[in-house]
Amino acid sequence: VTMASLEAEHSTLPEAMEEEDDPLFSNLDLFLFTLIIGLIVYWFMSRKKAEPIPEFKKLDQPMPMTRETSFIEKMKKTGRNIVVFYGSQTGTAEEFANRLSKDAQRYGMKGMAADPEEYDMCELSRLSEIDNSLAIFCMATYGEGDPTDNAQDFYDWLQEHDGELDGVNYTVFALGNKTYEHYNAMGVYVDKRLEELGAKRVFDLGMGDDDGNLEEDFVTWREQFWPAMCEHFGVEASGEDSSIRQYELKEHNDINMNKVYTGELGRLKSFDIQKPPFDSKNPFLAPVTVNQPREPWLCLRNESNKKHPFPCPTTYRTALTHYLDIMHPPRTNVLYELAQYATDIKDQENMRKMASSSPEGKALYQSFVLEDHRNILAILEDIPSLRPPIDHLCELLPRLQARYYSIASSSKVHPNSIHVCAVLVEYTTRTGRLTKGVATNWLKNKVAGDNGHKSIVPMYIRKSQFRLPFKASNPVIMIGPGTGIAPFIGFVQERGWLKEQGKEVGETVLYFGCRHKNEDYLYQEELEEAEKKGVITQLNVAFSRDQEQKVYVQHLLRANKEDLWRQIHKDNAHIYICGDARNMARDVQTAFYEIIEELGGVTRAQATDYIKKLMTKGRYSQDVWS
């Protein structure tokens, strides 16, 4: 405060004030008095015992668990010489890896299955430190020739690594589907790249085709692989055909309920106390807001290197309901292991025959298991002498996998909810059994929240490259018959929202197809309303069975070829295809080849190259399944 301001302040006081005596305390005295009082108060307050400041010392712990980072040290400590890495999205590659690691014991070796995401793959060069060592890679291909989520880091490492892998023996079994353009791309890349880095391929690349018979492809490769490995390493097969158990059953009849898993995928009680981040091991419990259409405790303790098959301890009912896949036709290794529990010798022989790679065995497995759609319950019903112990059955059955659905809504329009469109799977098999889809029927029975009751669905969101172009002014061409329409509902909603915000939005063209207009026209009202508002600039619908001549989306593409060529070639349109990979996606791509060939005046090879360039630029995207 300046003297000038003080003078100004005093000059404005009433005249009566001027006549009074000078104040007892000056402003300076008041300031000092206030300061002293404040210091005294602070001193009294600070007399409370101060909270100790924690000192974070490094804990005196044993060496970090090498299983988390070093597969080499783990192999040395457990006397193993074979490691089977897997890149798995749906669990099949992981299952094959576990089967191979278990097989090793029958061939005089010891193996372990390993998730490359959990180990330091830089240590691969150290594998030669172990005598007669071998790395097997069961690698699935995901999406557009991409690695699976758990193999992404390994893939990046292979691309960036320039070291030497001399002395490392390896082989690869690839899992894919011929209906996809990038068939087995990941397995082929790993096989080629390891050789480039100096590793030695000791057995030919195996190619598994899920469009045909993936199990048969694997069994055929595997039965050639092991004899070749025995010869390569100079060892003899043990000849032991007995079952090799990996777990020991422990039953608890008296246990604290708070320590029992009831369906959680990771952390115990994670369904009661939700903590982000949410992922496949820690799903978010989403309430269903709209939906149109006493036992002994069980614990399987690890007797091998493999992870627990499911969280323990839990009940048999929980294991069979939440953790194990009891609806999928059992693979040949399950039949082989269970055969010993059939009391009828003929049943034993038939089960072992189905598990073999002989032509007769393959044909029997194809007919009895696959074509008749027999799950494990049907197998047990139709082979009455088969009575396996429940713990071995739990050990052999594959884990129940998450089901993935395209999101049928825009987060801009529905920021607090996610919409899903799914086909209800339900059919009768050749044996007269009614078979229902696991996830779709479970979802169907989820009642929207009412009277305070909430139906809960554990879910999480995966990142996707299937998204609208960054520039809203770019045209989009969407082709999605059947439930392939799902992501495009979200696209249309978002384009409508952008228009409402005053943004320039390019042409929005949709091609939808179904059998009958009156039965299968999904989202009809919403799509027609969007067309009326100009959000959808062209709505092209093919009803394949409503007339004598079948009409599909590819026919509509050809009918609109001039518009399509303009949108793609001149206006930088982005093309999106969603739905069936086996027929639709292939036929649609062929239609594009023909349009480019005709209107672009190029050869089929050049048209093919044109589409590949669009894919590289992110202008031709597919979300397809078979």
- Annotated catalytic sites, by residue? 406, 578, 623, 625
Q: Which residues contact 290 (CB under 8 A, 6 or more apart)?
A: 448
69 DSSP assignment: T
Question: CB pairs under 8 A, 24+ apart, for 540-543?
Answer: 540/509, 540/510, 540/511, 540/512, 541/511, 541/512, 541/513, 541/514, 541/517, 542/481, 542/511, 542/512, 542/513, 542/514, 543/513, 543/514, 543/515, 543/516, 543/517
What is the rounded distance in angstroms from the CA atom of residue 514 to the CA atom of residue 476? 21
- CB of 506 closer than 8 Å to CB of 570: no
Whether omega before 313 lies within 30 degrees of 0, making that bond cis, reads yes
Q: What is the DSSP letter of 53?
A: P
Q: What is the 3-state secondary structure (H, E, C) of 353-421?
A: HHCCCCHHHHHHHHHHHHHCCCCHHHHHHHCCCECCCHHHHHHHCCECCCCCCCECCCCCCCCCCCCEC
d(CA 331, CA 453): 40
Please state, in angstroms and rounded to a whole number, the distance separating the CA atoms of residues 318 and 261: 8
* Angle CA 609–614–618, to nearest 5: 145
Strand locations in 244-359 (E): 247-252, 284-287, 297-302, 314-315
* Single-letter residue type at 510: L
SS3 87: strand
Bridge partners, 580 (sequence order): 625
For 204, counting Cβ atoms within 10 Å of its Cβ (0-12 exposed, 13-18 middle, 19+ buried), the class is: middle
User: Could you give the maximum distance between any two Cα atoms of the chain, in Å?
Assistant: 125
Strand partners, 106: none
What the block records as the tokens of 466 is 């299937």
- The encoded tokens of residue 140 equal 């699935």
Task: Tell me the C-alpha distance between 119 and 15, whole Å.
Answer: 87
- Give me the torsion for CA of 409, 410, 413, 419, rounded to 10°: 20
Which sign does the torsion angle of CA 248, 252, 255, 259 carry? Answer: positive
Using alpha carbons only, how large is the chain's radius of gyration in Å?
A: 33
| 152: exposed, middle or buried (Cβ count in 10 Å: 0-12, 13-18, 19+) | middle
d(CA 80, CA 67): 13
